[in-house]
């Protein structure tokens, strides 16, 4: 299952389309078989009922034959129910696999209308999540997350929200590169998770019980009393059955068992509710653990995950199956006619509670580690899917001693389809400089900043980046791009922009604390251990007049330059960097537009190619004229 798939070397779109077709055919065949079995079940049930009813009025050999036929049809009916269940489960699996490949194809083509955004959000006032479209419709998380457990979804979100160090990134890259070739393994895990509906709010409750203390086992006197009472009832019943005693002495301890059961019913039910809070998914977790544990994997991070799923020679898969079997035994309480006499005669629930608490003591404390390991594996598998889908993308080099420069060749926006995306060579840094991006409206300035930011997020999560080549130091990313006012909080657009800009400035720290070597922290040298600040500022402080905006923005840039931060700034104001010190620090690039004649007039187009120097054209008035607004001066 985990060996590199031959399909992994083919075109991903072709692979997904072929797999979707094959799984769809299997799904339809099983659906037809399921309908046929349903008809046979009905016929078998009616036949059994007819035979048994007829047998009541028959005598002799005919009655015997009818009873035998009825019993045989009942057995056949039970067998058909079991077989039908297996067929339905296989159909659900193929249905899930078909959907998985359809979804993968839609994401590969960036057909966002066919993709439902997963439920994930960023903390309030996060440094870059909202600006870079990390979550929500047509977001980076939507591109990456294909489904799975709550733990995997949260783990992937955490990796996007908080950058990892260089060593962790390199370990993830090796694991992702290996998993990229394990298409069957990744899709089987997704199918198991979808079939079992493994996103569950009950997981915290289950873990709280698993890591907590026992109820019955913590009372050894009571537990041994229950066992003694059960033994007494069994012995007295056996003595009466064997004729050793004639009186029903077992009734007295049975009455005591009835009283004890009623007094403890609520507590027993509470234990079962907590222990089996994930009851509908136990075997699917076991299946996921089996897929991970049995895979032939070699990357150190993947081997570490597999070792986590092995405790004292027993796998997490075995332990989850064992808990599932205990759950099945506990479910006897849902059949009142059977449960009552069994409980009175054997104190059944108490013995199941004791067995469940033995599982709690031996395996419960490992459950969180198992689920965490599974979550990490799912997050790695999600990033491995990106590696498989985008084979031309590169793993970045995060270097402690490569200088404070983000340097990328062929950098593109990862949320745009390959046929639409335009790639550019981009260099941000070294400290003491900033990238000044100018250009007309709609030319691509904001898209460039988001391309830089999203690829930095991918890089520090361990994923491949949308670039032919990329290197960067460990960075702290802060942005001020998509600013919104708030009527509820009484915050104007300008005030919201000021607050956002304050976050960026505060992240840089006070000027008085500047270190002599701006990259000492990334090389493990003296000074702070905090990585260099990478800022992305898009048309900051638009809500005020030009003169005040220039003063404020220049002041902010000087502060960031003094703190040895690196970053990129977009602006329409070509005089922003006219000051001598800023002019020396600015690395100017620009986008431009092209006017092409047509039958209805000039048509404006953009090539989204980054060029050196400041922009020399503007298009605001042209755009207004193109939509029919008269902008001629009087």
CATH number, domain containing residue 604: 3.40.50.300
| Confidence band for 416, pLDDT divided at 50, 70 and 90 | very high
| Confidence band for 501, pLDDT divided at 50, 70 and 90 | confident
Give the least confident one: 102-116, 271-285, 294-308: 271-285
In a domain, 155, yes or no: no
Whether residue 2 is predicted with pLDDT greater than 70 in this model: the reply is: no
* Together in a domain, 227 and 310: yes
The per-residue pLDDT for 516 is 47
Listed in sequence order, the DSSP H helices in 390-479 are: 445-461
* Together in a domain, 350 and 411: no
Q: What percent of the chain has pLDDT over 70?
A: 87
CA angle 320, 321, 322 (to 5 degrees): 90
Examine the fold and report which residue of 339, 366, 389 is the final residue of a domain before the chain moves on. 389
Q: H or E stretch including 378?
A: helix 365-389
Q: H or E stretch including 480?
A: strand 475-480
Give the least confident one: 15-24, 34-43, 95-104, 507-516: 507-516
What is Dmax (Cα atoms) for the chain? 121
* Together in a domain, 203 and 343: yes
Ranked by mean pLDDT, the top range of 454-458, 477-481, 499-503, 561-565 is 454-458
Q: H or E stretch including 364?
A: none
Q: Give CA–CA dist 451/570, Å, rounded.
A: 13
In a domain, 123, yes or no: no
Examine the fold and report which residue of 389, 406, 435 is the final residue of a domain before the chain moves on. 389
The per-residue pLDDT for 1 is 42
Q: Give CA–CA dist 203/180, Å, rounded.
A: 29
* Together in a domain, 404 and 364: no
The DSSP code for 118 is: P
The per-residue pLDDT for 242 is 85
The per-residue pLDDT for 619 is 60
* Together in a domain, 367 and 438: no
The residue among 310, 306, 317, 291 whose CA lies nearest residue 191 is 291
* Together in a domain, 414 and 276: no
Give me the chain's average pLDDT, please.
86
The partner residues of 593 in beta bridges, in order of sequence, read 606
| Confidence band for 241, pLDDT divided at 50, 70 and 90 | confident
Provide the terminal-to-terminal Cα distance of the chain, rounded to the nearest Å.
75
The per-residue pLDDT for 403 is 75
* Together in a domain, 322 and 263: yes
The per-residue pLDDT for 490 is 41
The per-residue pLDDT for 280 is 64
The set of long-range contacts for 62-70, using a CB threshold of 8 Å and a minimum separation of 24, is none
> Taking phi first (over 0 means left), then psi (-120 to 50 degrees means alpha), and beta for anything else, what does residue 596 get?
beta
Whether residue 245 is predicted with pLDDT greater than 90 in this model: the reply is: no
In a domain, 220, yes or no: yes
| Confidence band for 524, pLDDT divided at 50, 70 and 90 | very low
The per-residue pLDDT for 3 is 45
Q: If you average pLDDT over residues 366-377, what whole number do you get?
A: 93
| N residues, the chain | 634
Range(s) of the domain holding residue 539: 397-626
Other Cβ atoms closer than 10 A to 132:
28
In a domain, 129, yes or no: no
User: pTM of this prediction?
Assistant: 0.86
- 554: tokens are 């220049």
Stronger pLDDT, 534 or 8, i.e. the higher one: 534
Examine the fold and report which residue of 389, 411, 433 is the final residue of a domain before the chain moves on. 389
Ranked by mean pLDDT, the top range of 76-85, 436-445, 507-516 is 76-85
* Together in a domain, 367 and 434: no
- Give the residue carrying structure tokens 């294909």: 146
CB 541 within 8 A of CB 550: no
The per-residue pLDDT for 99 is 95
- 337: tokens are 């006619």
The per-residue pLDDT for 135 is 95
Whether residue 371 is predicted with pLDDT greater than 60 in this model: the reply is: yes
- 225: tokens are 């009393």
| Confidence band for 525, pLDDT divided at 50, 70 and 90 | very low
How many domains, the chain?
A: 3
In a domain, 224, yes or no: yes
* Together in a domain, 103 and 247: no
Q: How many CA atoms lie within 13 A of 314 on its CB side?
A: 11
* Together in a domain, 242 and 377: yes
* Together in a domain, 479 and 608: yes
CB 96 within 8 A of CB 191: yes
Whether residue 463 is predicted with pLDDT greater than 50 in this model: the reply is: yes
User: 427: helix, coil or strand?
Assistant: strand
> Taking phi first (over 0 means left), then psi (-120 to 50 degrees means alpha), and beta for anything else, what does residue 45 get?
alpha
| Confidence band for 202, pLDDT divided at 50, 70 and 90 | low
pLDDT in tens, 605-626: 788 999 999 887 666 556 556 6
The residue among 15, 12, 87, 75 whose CA lies nearest residue 44 is 75
In a domain, 174, yes or no: no
CB 148 within 8 A of CB 193: yes
The per-residue pLDDT for 622 is 63
In a domain, 128, yes or no: no
In a domain, 617, yes or no: yes
Ranked by mean pLDDT, the top range of 174-183, 256-265, 266-275 is 174-183
Stronger pLDDT, 434 or 193, i.e. the higher one: 434
The per-residue pLDDT for 338 is 84
Give the least confident one: 152-166, 177-191, 396-410: 396-410
* Together in a domain, 341 and 228: yes
The per-residue pLDDT for 528 is 45
């Amino acid at each position: 299952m985990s060996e590199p798939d031959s399909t992994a070397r083919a075109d991903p779109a072709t692979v997904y389309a072929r797999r979707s077709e094959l799984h769809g055919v299997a799904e339809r065949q099983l659906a037809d078989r399921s309908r046929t079995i349903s008809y046979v079940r009905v016929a078998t049930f009616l036949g059994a009922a007819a035979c048994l009813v007829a047998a009541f009025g028959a005598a002799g050999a005919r009655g015997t034959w009818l009873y035998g036929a009825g019993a045989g049809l009942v057995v056949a009916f039970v067998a058909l129910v079991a077989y039908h269940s297996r067929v339905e489960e296989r159909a659900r699996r193929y249905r899930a696999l078909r959907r998985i490949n359809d979804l993968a194809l839609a994401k590969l083509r960036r057909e966002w209308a066919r993709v439902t955004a997963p439920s994930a959000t960023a903390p309030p006032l996060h440094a870059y999540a909202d600006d870079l479209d990390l979550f929500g419709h047509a977001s980076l998380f939507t591109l990456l997350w294909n489904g799975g457990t709550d733990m995997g979804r949260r783990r992937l979100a955490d990796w996007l929200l908080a950058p990892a160090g260089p060593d962790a990134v390199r370990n993830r890259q090796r694991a992702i590169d290996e998993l990229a070739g394990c298409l069957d393994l990744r899709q089987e895990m997704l199918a198991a998770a979808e079939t079992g509906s493994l996103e569950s709010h009950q997981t915290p409750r289950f873990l709280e019980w698993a890591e907590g203390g026992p109820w019955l086992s913590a009372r050894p006197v009571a537990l041994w009393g229950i066992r003694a009472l059960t033994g007494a009832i069994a012995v007295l019943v056996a003595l009466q059955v064997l004729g050793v005693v004639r009186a029903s002495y077992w009734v007295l301890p049975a009455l005591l068992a009835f009283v004890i059961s009623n007094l403890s019913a609520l507590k027993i039910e509470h234990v079962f509710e907590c222990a089996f809070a994930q009851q509908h998914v136990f075997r699917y977790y076991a299946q996921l653990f089996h897929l991970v544990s049995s895979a032939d994997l070699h990357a150190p991070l993947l081997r570490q995950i597999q070792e986590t799923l092995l405790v004292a020679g027993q796998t997490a898969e075995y332990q989850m199956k064992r808990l599932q079997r205990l759950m099945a035994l506990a479910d006897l309480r849902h059949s009142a006619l059977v449960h009552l006499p069994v409980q009175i005669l054997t104190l059944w629930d108490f013995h199941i509670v004791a067995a469940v608490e033995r599982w709690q003591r031996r395996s419960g404390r490992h459950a969180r580690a198992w689920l965490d390991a599974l979550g990490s594996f799912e997050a790695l598998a999600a990033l491995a899917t990106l590696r498989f889908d985008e084979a031309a993308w590169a793993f970045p080099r995060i270097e402690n001693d490569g200088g404070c420069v983000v340097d990328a060749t062929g950098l593109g926006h990862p949320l745009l389809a390959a046929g639409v995306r335009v790639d550019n060579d981009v260099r941000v840094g070294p400290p003491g400089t900033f990238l000044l991006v100018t250009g007309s409206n709609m030319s691509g300035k904001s898209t460039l900043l988001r391309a830089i930011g999203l690829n930095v997020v991918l890089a520090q999560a361990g994923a491949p980046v949308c670039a032919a080549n990329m290197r960067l130091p460990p960075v702290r990313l802060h942005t001020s791009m998509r600013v919104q006012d708030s009527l509820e909080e009484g915050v104007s657009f300008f005030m919201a922009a000021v607050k956002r800009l304050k976050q960026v400035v505060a992240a840089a720290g006070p000027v008085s604390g500047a270190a002599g070597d701006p990259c000492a922290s990334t090389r493990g040298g003296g000074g702070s251990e905090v990585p260099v600040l990478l800022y992305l500022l898009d048309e900051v402080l638009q809500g005020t007049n030009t003169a005040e905006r220039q003063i404020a923005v220049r002041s902010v840039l000087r502060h960031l330059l003094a703190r040895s931060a690196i970053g990129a700034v977009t602006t329409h104001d070509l005089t922003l960097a006219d000051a001598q010190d800023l002019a020396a620090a600015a690395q100017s690039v620009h986008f431009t537009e092209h006017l092409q004649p047509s039958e209805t007039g000039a048509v404006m187009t953009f090539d989204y190619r980054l060029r050196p120097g400041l922009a020399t054209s503007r298009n605001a008035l042209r755009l207004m004229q193109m939509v029919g607004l008269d902008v001629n001066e009087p």
